[in-house]
Structure 1
Amino acid sequence: MTDTLLLLVPIAAEHKALLLQRFRVIEALDSSARAAAIAAHAADIDFVLTNGAVGFTAAEIATLPRLRLLAAQGAGYENLDIAAARAAGVPVCNGAGTNDDCVADHTLALLLASVRALPQQGAALRAGQWRDALPLYPGFTGRRLGIIGLGAIGLKIASRAAAFGMRIGYHNRRPRDAAGSATWFDSPASLAAWADDLVVATPGGAGTRHIVDTAVLAALGAGGHVVNIARGSCVDTAALAAALRSGLIAGAALDVYESEPHPPQDLVDLPNVILTPHVAGWSPQSIHATVENFIANVDALQRGEPLPTPL
């Protein structure tokens, strides 16, 4: 009998084909389709593939008697009820490591574009302004980058930024041996006071909600730029909008928002904000890797071996 997979996240046809080779796939990409799929197929579902934003609840877990694995597509898992899964004897895994390079690349692209004001300079040129009429924007050598959350992705961001000649600081709950020459700070505010620019790369959840707030933005100061590729909840949107409008900081570049999937209305009209639609971890290579990683976890489960990327 073919195992049944409940797929709650959109996947391009070329990558979905990998799943269709192995599973009977029930695709449910919105709340109504999800409820209908669970109601109709609860007795048949063996695996669930979701992501941190879409999640999976305790009530849903309780309705699936055959559930053998709950999986998050990417690294995030903040809306998966892991405790309920464990209580039901269901292992949980994520896609740790599958899109780290893609996220780090996108982060540097956002930081470069924000600090060098690439959208603003392009708009000025289209409006007939030449370089002599424009401000000078800073280069990167010697600039100080603060990273909130020096995990696997944070470390890749740090190595890329160091290649541009930036100095690196970070805030974690405790110093990391893997940080090398990067400087540890015991709070986001102390890191921001040292930094010229701030990247948010910490996991989401209640513990990091609004970890970047008015106080952190004020500490960063008038020349500072904020990049968020973590979770929208990590940055106080209203505080960020006020800081950008008042000149408290210079700019921001965001791939994630508190209002997802809707654009952040407080920010969309600001010329010193760059917005991308939560695509930092999306590339053909990374999506292919997430699907292969999910299949590898299923294979390990079926062989009775430890999962490659357990939670």
Structure 2
Amino acid sequence: MSTWGKYLAYGPDPAVVESYKYPKKYLIGGNWKCNGTKESVAKLVKTLNSAGPIPPWVEVVVGVPAIHIGDVLKTIRKDISVAAQDCSATGYGAFTGELAAPMLADFGVSWVILGHSERRTNQKESSELVATKTKAALDAGLSVMVCVGETLEEREAGKIDAVVLDDHMGALKGKFSDVEWAKIAIAYEPVWAIGTGKTASPEQAQDVHASIRGWLAANVSPAVAAATRIQYGGSMKGANAPGLLAKPDIDGGLIGGASLKAEFITGIAAAAPEPSL
């Protein structure tokens, strides 16, 4: 039975209808980074809760500082999921200061952001460590947004493929089954466009997204390549979201500053075009 046939057959159940009508939703992630007091987080949740509807072809996730996860889980609208901004490569044990993936899953977190450029740079996280953390997160039942991307110097030196494909993506090669890949999204974030106000043009972003999808087809499988959501993560906001999300290989965004505003829903999530059936 075709996807559309299943949609019609299971029409009475809205959840099943939605899953068959939009099997590959845009993934709009918000990274709150190291921001927020109890008061400001409560205000932000209230803003997002009242920001209007999320299209049924869009999945929205917010990456919350660990100390605020509990409050956000209790108060955020049900159609927004919660992500942690990191997890450890290990499980429970004598690892002072670490946050194990099973803890996050037990607490009700459903996603985790791993390999963000700020951690790769400031905490000196290697691509191999990011891959190990990804496996730990998947084993705990979490979904993962794995961040990849080049610096301005690397781009200008012609090293985009060497960094993004050979190193960042290369560390993931052979580590996960197709079933596990179904819970991984790749967030392409050109480091030179994060928090700088600069944005890769839709064409520049599309070129790298297409390369990542090509890498997946060659190194995992064509089916995984087609199903994996590849997000753009460099200063996406309401003004540029429509142009970026219109590109064929851009399946969402990982948004920083704009995720702290109502435009995260009204200008970005709402800008994702409805997929053709």
Same fold per superposition (TM over 0.5): no
TM-score, with length taken from structure 2: 0.30
Which structure has the greater CA radius of gyration? Answer: 1
TM-score, with length taken from structure 1: 0.28
